[in-house]
A and B are shown apart, each in its own frame.
Chain A
């Protein structure tokens, strides 16, 4: 039987990657929306309320795509990864079920109130609804990352006689040491996405001379939040994440850095292409000793290279993992620098009149998406060849009776469907932007009665 494994992996990769384009925006925006709603209540300024309504619309659009692309992931655990579900369901069933019970209901119930409740409920009630939405979306991220953190670093489980795993401490599962930094890193990255999209839209409106008041509000909020979040994304969250990789998954760490041989005083590569024939890096450009220092706070510390591990434990797509990591880290640095520069100009009162900087911010909007996608690829490719690190190999987790023809069929179906979805989303996003924030929005938005009619 031809194995379905590559199609199963590709299908999960495609659906998870595509899905995560949407929640990273909604989780980031949920926080910024809270800020707008709070400002609207405390200052009583109408334009904060108006801008909140506009971003609620974009939130809802992205949320709808997030929901419909998220359901396939839950299904796929069973459809394509049945042996994994049987093996690990006794543990990760906890966090996945809790996400459904605690996060989804909260989000979807209160989004309905926010979208359909303008004019029906007081602004205080809407503020509470926005708070619930924020809690729901951040809780959702927490439970999903608790699941992923357990697959990266299994804790709080026991093995039954038939080989299946069962949870033996719920609190241990929810406070997995791996989870803390992964969650912080992920959420700051989501705020970076939300801030960049918001700032970029503000910059676009400013440059094109539309909705000037709202444009400045968006830009100011986006730049301040983006500067804080992108700094936190690098330090301490990114740094601590990398440290725990070197501590618990050293082979993944070595692959990140393209470190083929164990070295004392290892450097950090800025540029270079891993050459799998010679097991060296082509065209290296490196900062000497930096890796040893960052990981062990010692310039001469020994860092284990790939040669310290058996070949079958190496991540199977090493160059792709290496590039994912470098793209994530490189873009993260560029994003932080851009926001830092914008914050400086904002502080000097020159941001709104510096077209070159506005262009830079506007054109940077896709980069957080690329960086976050590369970040997920780093985490997930790096976990290979394990599905549950150290416990279950990926090849042993697929559905035993689903043949490759079926998996390929559904993979192609998802590819086609998601291509259409992507085009639809961009089209509707552009429509919403063209419509823009306006006072006319101060009546029901997103109403199926069609307020644009």
Chain B
């Protein structure tokens, strides 16, 4: 039962990164690809109807984590205190930028929100990558299952690291590049003309950055976190996940070269899913790995919310999840196809 919830929470988070990932990516590449006001409107219209629903996956994933493993929620959120509050402020700024830009027709007003949109999207992409890096590297949990890490110390990994060290910064940069690729792929799929041409070009360039950064990040992970190496050598079938991820990345680039926009977007989605699945596989059954004493790690066994709660949750989760799939498909089908913005 705990394993099911470990999978469910990981899956919800992975879907969140794939879905909100493309609108973060649009934010990152926005100043590069959308040079004119009509193009900017098209780029925003491409994510307008879906980004709120995408963001809800984060809230729902957070809710599920709280429900299934409250101790991890409590330890993680209080431990990464400053980073998470800063994430909140960035999410607020980003939400407002998307919502408010169209409310006033004034050049400065729009420039302000464009800046907020790109800045918050890029920073959040880096922060999410760094967060994943922290989960992989581990944190200094004490006997009560709590920890507190500052934003940075000396930028080195070790038993008492900061949230940012050389390795998590590398993960953050890789994350930003991956989402830039993903967002550019999405825009290429949803638009035509000059905007599409630029999006394809940016996606192509971002693809190379992704390859370099991902190779570096994989090497860093196996150096920083030996638990992953152990987990993979015990269950080598898990190598299928990173292998599938790398294959999807290769496919994304190959399809990109032939300007197969939809297929390339699907490939970059698969790439993200497979890489996050690799992480979940390597970490299992740990939820938060302790850097100080392995015995302090929070696992699916010692952080569970109880048998009855998890069983009854299964019922409403399956119903709710079915409904979500229906809504998500409904919304994406409703706005399927190229963005069509009337010129005033």
Contact = CB atoms under 8 A, between A and B. Distances in A.
Interface string A416-453: 01000100100010011000000000000011111111
Contacts of A409: 82
Contacts of B317: 97, 101
A447 B102 contact: yes
Interface string A153-184: 00000001000101110100000000000000
Contact of B67 (A83, A94, A109): A94
B320 interface: yes
B237 to A, nearest CB: 31
A355 B328 CA distance: 49
B154 interface: no
A416 to B, nearest CB: 10
A208 B88 CA distance: 41
B21 to A, nearest CB: 17
B71 A89 contact: yes
A151 to B, nearest CB: 15
B55 to A, nearest CB: 8
A280 interface: no
A289 B317 CA distance: 51
A168 B305 CA distance: 11
Contact of B323 (A105, A113, A406): A105
Contacts of A432: 103
Contact of B74 (A89, A101, A112, A121): A89
Contact of B75 (A80, A82, A164): A82
A100 B64 contact: yes
Contacts of B75: 82, 86
B166 interface: no
B74 A448 contact: no
Contacts of B31: none
A102 interface: yes
Contact of A83 (B74, B330, B344): B74
Interface in A256-297: none
A98 B53 CA distance: 16
A111 B55 CA distance: 14
Interface stretch (A234-242, A308-316, A360-368, A397-405): A397-405
A96 B66 contact: yes
A300 B52 CA distance: 57
B331 A112 contact: yes
B88 A71 contact: yes
Given A104-B56, A160-B306, A448 B98 contact: yes
Contacts of B88: 71-72, 75
B273 to A, nearest CB: 20
Given A167-B308, A406-B82, A449 B342 contact: yes
Contacts of B49: 112-113, 115-116
Interface string B310-326: 00110011001101100
A101 B62 contact: no
A399 B312 contact: no
Interface residues of B, number: 72
A446 to B, nearest CB: 7
Given A97-B64, A116-B335, A78 B71 contact: no
Interface stretch (A34-42, A61-69, A328-336, A373-381): A61-69
Interface stretch (B142-150, B176-184, B259-267): B142-150
A79 B98 contact: no
Contacts of A3: none
Contacts of B48: 112, 116, 447-448
Interface string B32-44: 0000000001101
Contacts of A401: 78-79, 146-148
B63 interface: yes
B156 interface: no
Of the listed residues B55, B74, B308, the one surrounded by the most CB atoms of chain A closer than 10 A to its CB is B74
A167 B100 CA distance: 41
A68 B92 contact: yes
A112 to B, nearest CB: 4
Nearest to B103: A428
B1 interface: no
A88 B334 CA distance: 41
A6 interface: no
B60 A75 contact: no
A77 interface: yes
Contact of A86 (B56, B71, B82, B99): B71
A113 B70 contact: no
B66 A79 contact: no
B73 interface: yes
A97 B103 contact: no
Contacts of B309: 90-91, 93-94, 166-167
A100 B60 contact: yes
Contacts of B71: 86, 89
A387 B220 CA distance: 44
A343 to B, nearest CB: 35
Nearest to B144: A400
A413 B67 contact: no
Nearest to A409: B82
Of the listed residues B67, B76, B95, B331, the one surrounded by the most CB atoms of chain A closer than 10 A to its CB is B67
Contact of B63 (A100, A116, A410): A100
Given A86-B70, A170-B312, A449 B102 contact: yes
A101 B105 contact: no
A120 interface: yes
A448 B101 contact: yes
Contacts of A117: 334
Interface in B270-311: 305-306, 308-309
B52 A112 contact: yes
A397 to B, nearest CB: 10
Nearest to A112: B49
B78 A447 contact: no
B45 interface: yes
A128 B24 CA distance: 30
B85 A413 contact: yes
Contacts of A417: 89, 92
B135 interface: no
Interface in A108-148: 108-113, 115-117, 120-121
Contacts of A428: 100, 103
Nearest to A60: B99
Contacts of B66: 74, 77-78, 85, 89, 93, 96-97
Contact of A100 (B59, B99, B144): B59
A89 B85 contact: no
A452 B64 contact: no
Contacts of A64: 95-96, 99-100
A368 B181 CA distance: 48
9 contacts: A67-B95, A75-B77, A89-B67, A90-B70, A93-B67, A96-B66, A97-B63, A110-B327, A452-B102
Interface of B: 41-42, 44-45, 48-50, 52-53, 55-56, 59-60, 62-64, 66-68, 70-71, 73-79, 81-82, 84-85, 88-89, 91-92, 95-96, 98-105, 144-148, 305-306, 308-309, 312-313, 316-317, 320-321, 323-324, 327-328, 330-331, 334-335, 341-342, 344
